[in-house]
Amino acid sequence: MKQRVITAIVMVAVMIPFFIFSGTPAFPVLAGFLAAVGIFEMQRCIGSVKHYAVSVPTVIAAAGMPFLVRYVKNDVIGYVFFICFALITYTFAVSVFSKHRFQVETAAFSCSTAVYISFGFSALVLLRDLEHGRYIYLLAFIIPWVTDTFAYFCGRAFGKHKLIPDVSPKKTVEGSVGGTVCAVLVTLLYGLLIGAVTESKPNYLPLALVTLIVSLVSQCGDLIMSLVKRKFGIKDYGKLFPGHGGVLDRFDSVICVSPFIYFMTEFIPVLKLFS
């Protein structure tokens, strides 16, 4: 526990400058770094990291994606679509010509997880660049981490019914509900704070609804990554954060929720969080 607390404090201290200067290239640098490390961890997990013809281009593409979505404003969707399609085609082509050294199942897993991870971190940059984005993108961190923290404590205090024991034996229904309720309350307090210290006005009903949905999605993201770890028989994805594991152990829920927050706040007008 002591190691986890120390690591958490150091991690927050390191990330604060990136958050303060999130409107500068510093933030895509952070997102690109985390995406690259996350994909490296996943490639190592599924056994494709030593297939350098696949792992190296995938990591490079992931590192560059956050810069692409920020600085290529025109036709960015077309660029992202082409890069993803080209990378998928290339990965399966490597499998075709590898003479069974790079299995098609591994290629499929490599492609799907690479898109999942790179899109998740790139969506953080998209969120930051929205109107009121300087407040909205932080929700991609606040909601999952508050949900996870309070789900743990509520589960320990009240947990009696296992959630999905085959995937994550320690998670409980009571913890899940408690984490979601606390996430909604904390987000409403966050909105109240933003409204008090800035000129932005929080819309509390959309905030509560979005938080409810995102909290549930964040738990799905956690379970998805737990399922992958169980399938490949590993405890943690990495050791970058002592006591917490790797990037995918710490940011599994964050990368899952960021595209959902972006879609809801950008394309569903009634869910506008700030005005």
pLDDT digits (tens, 9 = 90+) for 93-129: 999 999 888 999 999 999 999 999 999 999 999 999 9
pLDDT at 154 over 90: yes
pLDDT for residue 186: 98
Domain segments of the chain: what residues?
A: 1-129, 132-275
Choose between 28 and 73: higher pLDDT.
28
Structure confidence at residue 9 (pLDDT): 86
Q: How many helices (H) and strands (E) does the chain have?
A: 11, 2
Number of neighbouring beta carbons within 10 Å of residue 193: 12
Top-ranked range on mean pLDDT: pick from 8-17, 179-188, 244-253 = 179-188
The residue count for the chain:
275
> Which pLDDT value is given to residue 14?
86
Question: Given a cut of 80, is residue 8 above it in pLDDT?
Answer: no
Chain Cα centroid distance, residue 8: 17
Tell me what pLDDT residue 55 has.
93
When pLDDT is averaged across residues 262-270 and rounded to a whole number, the result is 94
pLDDT at 247: 96
pLDDT of residue 224: 95
The model's confidence at residue 1, banded by pLDDT at 50, 70 and 90, is low
Q: What is the mean pLDDT of residues 14-24?
A: 90
Q: What is the mean pLDDT of residues 182-198?
A: 97
Q: What angle do CA 41, 44, 50 make, to 5 degrees?
A: 130
**Tens digit of pLDDT for each residue in 56-93?**
999 999 999 999 999 987 788 899 999 999 999 999 99
Q: For the chain, what is the mean pLDDT? A: 93
Q: How far is CA 59 from CA 31, 52, 154, 261, 263, in A?
A: 13, 10, 38, 25, 25
From the list 214, 192, 184, 202, the residue with the least C-alpha distance to 273 is 202
